[in-house]
A and B are shown apart, each in its own frame.
Chain A
Amino acid sequence: MEKKKGWKEIPIGGLITEAGNAQEYETGSWRTFKPVLDQKTCNNCLICWIFCPDTSIVVENEEMVGFDYVHCKGCGICAAECPKKAIAMVLEEEE
C-alpha cells in the first residue's frame, strides 16, 4: 500500500496543486447499475459523450467504443439521453 504523506510534506490549506488528479480517484466502485452498449443500435451520434459528467465514454476514431468503468459512477445519464436507446443499465451483480 502507498505510504501517505505527513503534515509537513503536503500543500497548505488542502490545496490540490496538480490539475486533473481526479483521474487517480477510482469512482467506478460506487456503481450500482452499469451501462452496457448495444454496438449494433448505436449510430455514434456521441450525445452520450457530451452528457457524461465523468468523461467516461470512450471514443476512438469518432466512434463510441465503450465505457471507462474505473471512473463511471453508473449515473445512467448516457442511457437516458441516448436517442437510439442503445445503452442499457444493468445491475452490477446481474451482469
Chain B
Amino acid sequence: MAKISAPQVKLPLTGNDAAALAMKQVNPDVVAAYPITPQTELMQTFAQYVADGEVDTALITVESEHSAMSACIGAAAAGARTMTATSANGFALMWEVLYIAASLRLPITMTVVNRALSGPINIHCDHSDSMGARDAGWLQIYAENPQEAYDLLLIALKAAENHDVLLPAMVMYDGFIISHTMEVVQTLPDGAVKDYIGPYRPAYALLLDKKPFTVGPLDFHDYYFEHKRQEIEGTEHAPAALAEAAAEYENLTGRHYAPVETYRADGADVILVALGSTAGTARYVVDVLREQGKAVGLMKLRTFRPFPHREVADALGATKCVVVCDRVASFGAFGSPTFMEVRSALYEVPTRPQVINYIYGLGGRDIGPDLLEQAYGEGLRVAKTGEIKQHVDYLGVR
C-alpha cells in the first residue's frame, strides 16, 4: 500500500451523502440540477450546503433535466467548473444534450444514481439508464459503495479536466442499494481535495477569453467527421489520464483504483464479471465457494467507458469460463452490453475462455448469494464440459 499523505476523517455516509460531500469539497462554480429519486437526497444535501454558504456554487434549479444539462453546458462553455447529478428518466431526458456536452469537449462531472428506466414505472436499481448512454462520449465509471462514490467522483473530475481528454464524466452507483445505505467512508479534508483537483483551467471560456469566438455552430459533411475524430482521440487519452489521477489519489489516500479489479482470480476456472454493488455480494460468494474447494474468482469492472479491453483480456484470458452478470438488458442484442464488450475483448486471446451471460436484478430485483452461486455453478459446469447450453440466461426471473 502506498504511503498515505493526507489525514483522513471517518464519517458514516450514504452514497448520496458521500457524493454530496465530494461536490461540496470540489466547490464547483455552477451546479444545475433537477431532483429525481433516488438522486434527490444528493441534490437536497448539496442545496443545503449552498443555502448555508458552505460553497460558492451558483445552484441553478431548472425545470427539467434537459435544461439541467443545457445549463451545465452553457456554464462550462462560459468557463465554469460544472457538476450535476441525476437518475433514470431524468437521465434519459438529458439524452441529446449529453452528446452535445461531449462534442463541445466540456468536462462536466455528473453523478448518476442508477435506477431502472420506465416502463413500467419503477424507482429501484438497474443499469438501464447509464448503459443506454454508453456511446454518448462520456467517461463512465461504476462505484461499488459510498467510499467509491466519493473517491471516484474526484478522480473522474480530475481526469475529465485533463487537457488531453476534455470530456465529461459520469460516476454511477446503485440506486437505494448504495445511495441510501450508510457505511463508514474515509474522507479527505477540504484543503486536500482542493489541492488534489487544483484550480479549474478551462480549455476555452466565453466569459474569460479576450478574443471572441463561437461555440456550437453548424458543422456539416466538410468538418463534422474531423470533430468526431478529435473526440475519439480525447477518449483514447482517458485511460492514461484516469490512471494518473488515480495514482495521485492513491498517494493521498492509500486507496488504489484501476479500471478492473480482480478478487481471488488467480488459477480460477470461472471468473464472474460484475459492476457496482453486486461485486460486494460476489466477493462473499467467491469466499464461500473457495472454502468448498471450487476454483472461482471475480472481476469487478469499474470503468465502462473507455472500455478497458486490454485489462479485461489480461484479467480473464487464463480462465476457462467467464460469467458476465449485467443489471441491464439490451433488447434484440446478443447478450447484455458488458457481455458484448467482454466477449469482444477476449476474441484474440489464444486461450480464449468460454463466455456466458446472465441478466439479473432488473427494476431492483434482489440479487443474493444464492443466485450468484447458481451462476457460478453453471460456469463451473461449462468450464468442466466445455459445452455452453445457453449463451444468455436470466437470474432470478420467474
Contact with A along B219-261 (1 / 0, CB 8 A): 1001110110110010000000000000000000000000000
**How many residues from A make CB contacts under 8 Å with B?**
13
* B213 with A7: CB separation less than 8 A: no
Note all chain A residues with C-beta closer than 8 A to B204.
Answer: 12-13, 15
Among A5, A12, A14, A19, find the residue whose CB has the most chain B CB atoms closer than 10 A.
A14
Decide yes or no whether B215 CB sits under 8 A from chain A. Answer: yes
Q: Which residue of A lies closest to B214 (CB)?
A: A16
CA distance A17 to B205 in the complex (A): 12
* A14 with B103: CB separation less than 8 A: yes
* A13 with B211: CB separation less than 8 A: no
CA distance A77 to B224 in the complex (A): 32
Note all chain A residues with C-beta closer than 8 A to B224.
Answer: 14
- A95 smallest CB distance to B (angstroms): 29
* B213 with A17: CB separation less than 8 A: yes
Decide yes or no whether B53 CB sits under 8 A from chain A. Answer: no
CA distance A12 to B77 in the complex (A): 12
A residues 12-30 in Cβ contact with B at 8 Å? 12-19
Decide yes or no whether B69 CB sits under 8 A from chain A. Answer: no
**How many residues from B make CB contacts under 8 Å with A?**
23
Note all chain A residues with C-beta closer than 8 A to B217.
Answer: 14, 16
- A38 smallest CB distance to B (angstroms): 35
With A14-B103, A15-B214, A17-B211 known as contacts, the answer to whether A4 contacts B223 (CB < 8 A) is yes
Q: Which of A4, A7, A16, A17 contacts B230 (CB 8 A)?
A: A7
Main secondary structure of the interface of A (DSSP, over half): loop
* B104 with A13: CB separation less than 8 A: yes
Q: Which of B106, B214, B219, B227 contacts A7 (CB 8 A)?
A: B227
Note all chain B residues with C-beta closer than 8 A to A19.
Answer: 212-214
CA distance A14 to B103 in the complex (A): 8
Decide yes or no whether A10 CB sits under 8 A from chain B. Answer: yes
With A5-B226, A6-B226 known as contacts, the answer to whether A14 contacts B233 (CB < 8 A) is no
- A53 smallest CB distance to B (angstroms): 16
Contact with A along B89-110 (1 / 0, CB 8 A): 0000000000000011110000
Q: Which residue of A lies closest to B222 (CB)?
A: A4
Note all chain A residues with C-beta closer than 8 A to B213.
Answer: 15-19
CA distance A10 to B223 in the complex (A): 9
Decide yes or no whether B166 CB sits under 8 A from chain A. Answer: yes
A-B contact pairs, 29 of them (CB 8 A): A4-B222, A5-B226, A6-B226, A7-B227, A7-B229, A10-B227, A10-B230, A12-B227, A13-B103, A13-B104, A13-B105, A13-B227, A13-B230, A14-B103, A14-B217, A14-B219, A14-B223, A14-B224, A14-B227, A15-B214, A15-B215, A16-B213, A16-B214, A16-B217, A17-B211, A18-B213, A19-B212, A19-B213, A19-B214
**What residues of chain B have their CB less than 8 Å away from a CB belonging to chain A?**
103-106, 166, 203-204, 211-217, 219, 222-224, 226-227, 229-230, 233
